[in-house]
Amino acid sequence: MGGRDFDILERIKTEPATGDEQRCMELLNPADFEIFSHQMQMIALEANEVLIKTAGTPAGLAGDIGSCVYSAQGDPAAAAVGIWAHAFAGQLPIKYILKHWKDEPSVGIRDGDAFFCNEALYGGIHPPDCATFLPIFHGGELIAWAEAMAHTTDTGAVEMGGISLSASSRYEEGMKFPPIKIAEDFLLKEDIITLMENFVRDPRVITLDNKARMAACMRIRQRVLEVVEKKGRDFVVGGLRKMISEGSKVAKERLSRMNDGIYRQPVFLNGEEVESRGGKQALLRIMVAIHKEGDHVTVKFDGTSPEQPYSLNAYPHIIHPYGTGYVCCSHLFPDLPPSIGLMEAFDVEIPEGCLMNPSEEAAVGASPVSLFLTAQAIFPCLAKILFDSEIRSNIVSTYPYMTLYVVWGGIDRRGNYFVGLGPDINAGGFPARWDKDGVNTGGFFVATRSDCEDVEGIDVISSMSYLFRRQGQDNFGHGKYRGGAGMEFGYLAHKLPMIVIMSVGGCGKFVSAPGIFGGYGAPPLIGIKVEGTNLAEMLAAGDENVPTSFNELLTRRDMIEGEGRYTIGSAMCELGPLNEGDVFATFQGGGGGYGDVLERDPEAVLEDVKSGMVSHWAAGNVYKVAYDPTTMVIDVQKTAEVRDGEREERKRRGLSYEEFEEGWLEKKPPPEALEHYGSWPDCM
């Protein structure tokens, strides 16, 4: 009997190379290895394309996926994204399969088998992240693994969409499979497919996704075996291991040249209880301390809030693929092929019983919310580490806290039951860089190659109409270099027999992306729900007063007829109806700013005003630029005077640290907000 095996969850690092792998590595010359490394990357990328083109879930079609080639021991060697976590997180289920099913007579591992897992306690991430693993054999010997993962829209949780806001334990989160055989002789097992269909609200999507992931794994197998036929078994076995070992070697050598030290950053979250359970606001904290010494980094979480009675909890093994793994691949070592070797230098230490290391019974469906917040703490620390390093050009401010995961479902225009997902999460702004602005609507920071899809495609595939969708204004961090703007969007219920909607929101009380080195943070995320409007009629008549932005939806209330009841507040929206003509609008965050706003080129500020990215208010009150709003001509002398005056005003407002601390320690949130925080102010 396998059962839960927490030793497996500790094996997030590379397995020791076998004698055979060592021998095979020595056979590769540098030229052959470079060619092989590129081949494996292209194989993983091709598998991703297969997955995108065949997936049933809207998230899969938008690139919320990952494919990976693993060594025979289950170590990630070549990955393609989608989402970094989807490519890297498959190692623990594979290692579980090797340990518990390889010699189990009733299961076994044979050519043509494939396995499935979406259970965090067995090495998965959270229930919607469904993965397929296919062993690759040659001559009867296991030489590698193929993996494909995609975010499936529904898991049959107490609320649709897989990320349940109201789940208070793991038993309300729907389908959770430990590693289970899903195919034999290269055929998906109909009994298992039927079992999965029985769990969920939209069986078509989960079956299409199972077939798509199997097809992606088969493509990896096909291409890997083609390399074996040309170059031999030893070439592939040695090449996969060398990709990992070379990544580890170069990563450690690069780390050793960076400054040692301890770098700390707290981040806060207003945990929001759903209205049906009281709607209380809870203050939560994740405390990250990066200890860097030589070629090794330890990330510690002492001082993090305790386990929560809802689904924000995350297990420690997920920190690597979502946090340190992403940072390694995209910022510390972007020029190196992504493999588990890049994470060899990183360890994670997390106290038991806290938000990031909960009990077995914890709900974890919304764990990405906490994981994304963890990354927000890592990036300011990383900026300090890189500031005077040889790769200083890799410094960025903070990516936005993009967890506006919007799900809807009901009966579509064809009379079918469906569950849809808003890929707008993949259109947040990227952070300011050390020498330039962030990229507008650049993507999702853990899924930089994912797409937000066209509104027409979303309407056809997921039965949701848009009132507007555009780059936002002032929804990023200002600075010498500003963050990129995030996407703002409004959903409109139109010609649907029945639809309900929910949004997993966050950062409704805090900046959604902290700035660095004097840069401003991006604003909190809010949402608007308007009920009973005549907007469909206004659109049909070509009425010029139809709102085309988040701001216009707020300011044109008198133009919208009908019931028109406005609810303005959190971006979190509990599952509820969206009736004909109703609108739900919100936005993805923008990137954090870099450097002092008073050092920004006034001409750059004015260009942003002209393009609609920056408001007249922000130009005058934040950047302190004096100009004629009619002619858009800058008053250079007045701008210099205003900015000098602001610098003097800053000095007047300034406090010594002792004065600040004295006033700060007198402040304390209300007791009900600290119910799940831990002790105040240290969170212990």
Which amino acid is located at 500 in the chain?
Answer: V
**Pairwise CA distance, residues 33 & 158, whole Å:** 49
| H or E element that contains 501 | strand 498-504
* Rounded average pLDDT over 84-102: 89
The mean per-residue pLDDT over the stretch 219-227 comes to: 98
Phi, psi of 310 (to 5 degrees): -145, -175
Ranking 170-184, 227-241, 322-336, 354-368 by mean pLDDT, the lowest is 322-336
Overall average pLDDT of the 223-236 stretch: 97
pLDDT at site 576? 84
Q: Which of helix, strand or coil describes residue 245?
A: helix
The answer to whether 378 and 356 have CB atoms below 8 angstroms apart is no
Helix (H) or strand (E) segment spanning residue 492: strand 487-492
Report how far residue 15's alpha carbon sits from residue 430's, in angstroms, rounded to the nearest whole number.
35
Q: How far is Cα 535 from Cα 580, in angstroms, rounded to an integer?
A: 10
pLDDT at position 93: 95
Higher pLDDT, 623 or 534: 623
d(CA 605, CA 618): 9
Cα 623 to the center of its chain, rounded Å: 31
| Mean pLDDT value across residues 480-493 | 94
pLDDT in tens, 304-355: 999 988 888 999 988 877 776 667 777 888 888 888 888 888 999 999 999 9
For 305-371, give the DSSP string: PBPPSSTT---GGGHIIIIIHHHIIIIISTTSPP-GGGGTTEEEE--TTBTTS--TT---TTHHHHH
Q: Please report how the helices 233-256 and 203-231 are oriented relative to each other, as an axis angle in degrees rounded to 10.
A: 100
566, 450 in Cβ contact below 8 A?
A: no
**Per-residue pLDDT at 526:** 87
Query: Is the pLDDT score of 1 beyond 70?
Result: no
Q: Which of 68-82, 329-343, 469-483 has the lowest average pLDDT?
A: 329-343
Centroid of chain to Cα 355: 18
pLDDT bucket at 88, cuts 50 / 70 / 90: confident
Write out pLDDT tens, residues 13-46. Answer: 899 999 999 999 999 999 999 999 999 999 999 9
pLDDT of residue 563: 65
Average pLDDT over residues 345-371: 90
Give the best-scoring range by mean pLDDT among 82-91, 286-295, 382-391, 409-418: 286-295
Question: What ranges do the domains of the chain cover?
Answer: 21-250, 398-595, 609-653
Q: What is the pLDDT of residue 616?
A: 97
Provide φ and ψ at 259, rounded to 5°: -65, 135
3-state SS, 3-38, equals: CCCCCHHHCCCCCCCCHHHHHHHHCCCHHHHHHHHH
Query: Based on the number of CB atoms within 10 Å of its own CB, is 393 exposed (0-12), middle (13-18) or buried (19 or more)?
Result: exposed
Find where tokens 């960076």 sit. 258
The identity of residue 211, as a single letter, is K
442 in Cβ contact with 556 (< 8 Å): no
User: pLDDT over 90 for what percent of the chain?
Assistant: 56
**10: pLDDT strictly greater than 80:** yes
User: pLDDT tens digits for 244-297?
Assistant: 999 999 999 999 999 999 999 998 888 776 666 666 778 899 999 999 999 999
The C-alpha atoms of residue 79 and residue 98 are separated, in whole angstroms, by 21
Least confident of 235-239, 298-302, 568-572, 655-659: 568-572
Q: What is d(CA 308, CA 357) in angstroms, rounded to the nearest whole number?
A: 11
Tell me the mean pLDDT in the region 582-611: 95
414 Cβ contact list (under 8 Å, min separation 6): none
- Alpha-carbon distances, residue 533 vs 467, 502, 572 (angstroms): 12, 19, 21
Residues in the chain: 684
Q: Which secondary-structure segment (H or E) carries 560?
A: none
- Looking at the whole model, is its pTM more than 0.85? yes
Mean pLDDT is highest, among 158-167, 168-177, 275-284, 629-638, for 629-638
Half-sphere exposure of 629 (CA within 13 A, CB side): 8
Between these two residues, 449 and 60, which has the higher pLDDT value?
Answer: 60
Query: Quick one: pLDDT at residue 320?
Result: 77
Is 595:479 a contact under the CB 8 Å cutoff? Answer: yes
What average pLDDT does this structure show over 85-92? Answer: 83
Q: How confident is the model at residue 448 (pLDDT cuts 50, 70, 90)?
A: confident
Q: Mind listing the pLDDT tens digit for each residue in 605-620? A: 999 999 999 999 999 9
366 is written with which tokens? 């919304």
Region for 582 from its dihedrals, namely left if φ exceeds 0, alpha if ψ lies in -120 to 50, beta otherwise: beta
SS (H, E, C) 66-121: EEEEEECCCCEEEEEECCHHHHHCCHHHHHHHHHHCCCCCCCCCCCCCEEEECCHH
pLDDT at 205 exceeding the cut of 80: yes
CB burial of 149-164 (b: ≥16 within 10 Å; e: otherwise) equals bbbbbbbbbbbbbbbb
| 522-578 confidence digits (pLDDT tens) | 998 888 999 988 888 899 999 988 999 999 998 888 878 766 788 888 787 777 888
Distance in angstroms (rounded) separating the CA atoms of residues 678 and 267:
14
Reference 273, options 240, 310, 237; nearest CA is: 310
pLDDT at 622: 98
| C-alpha distances out from residue 392 to 41, 112, 646, 651, Å | 27, 48, 30, 30
